[in-house]
Structure 1
Amino acid sequence: MYDLRHGTIRFETNVANGVCDVEFDRKDISMNKFIAACLESQFVMFDARTQHNTEGFASTTQKTKISTTLWGVRHLPQDRELFTALLGDGSVELYRYEYPSKRVSTHADGSPRGLGGKAKHMGSAQLSTQPVNSWDWHAERRGLGVCTSFDQVVHVVIASTC
């Protein structure tokens, strides 16, 4: 994470896998959490509220139900705890982020340290035989989305669990 105002690196970490996409949960609020979509069906969720001096942001790594590259994640604009994972086998998975009971703990050095949450799988759908490479949620209609895949098809999706 690069701070453009100060021209310095604010946070960097190695997630032990190639990163395909990174997205903050909402654009219109102060930093809350962000997710990195990675190779080998892995996504890493970072709690951006509390940054420790040496450990950085708290994170939790999870795997999708299907073993494939994760091309991206997109948060629902009306509910920042819901997000869609775009998978390389042409499917999408819907997750709900669950916060830990406490978001901050005290490190051994006495400074505050964040705690990461986990994601609960809500559902999935096979949309294509090729990777789903983009997704956009409707700004006003909850659960309505549109996505594309490498098979050159545009899919309009209604997620009823939203």
Structure 2
Amino acid sequence: MTGGEAGGAPEVLAELAARGETLAVAESLTGGLVAAGLTAVPGASRVVRGSVTAYATDVKREVLGVAGPLLAERGAVDAEVARQMACGVRALLGADWGVATTGVAGPDPQDGKPVGTVFVAVAGPGGAGAVRELSLDGDRARIRAGSVREVLALLLRELTGNAGAKDTEQNGGN
């Protein structure tokens, strides 16, 4: 990320603005980086409704509406948790689209998942959406930056109709 903008943010915002649609963000491991990258772009206020940094598991449950039994059974680092976070923030903030990040940035594993395991999700109108599992390399900062890039790329693919890729993808990075 350079200049405070997340890679892909200008393209995502331009596409949403052209469609007259809005976006809400739910973040865990990225701790607000997705929202910061989006709102660094001039004119973002036409599209971005807001964000929730749901770092704690109980916030995912109580604010975003992630199912308690799901969290208890699988932990917070899970594809379905990411999907529910995206759907929850979309409903909570009244947006057309919701995106979410959850995962393990390190330095230690979490919920039995190794460092670099990340789930990004998109939820949109008419049941549109996708979840992607990532396996990112690097230190905490690189994993978080890669998560931001990947959730915006997933959203852009959903918006532009190029979402035919596999739901699970492995991405390394040096």
TM-score, structure 1 length as denominator?
0.31
- Higher helix share goes to which structure? 2
TM-score, structure 2 length as denominator?
0.29
Larger radius of gyration: 1
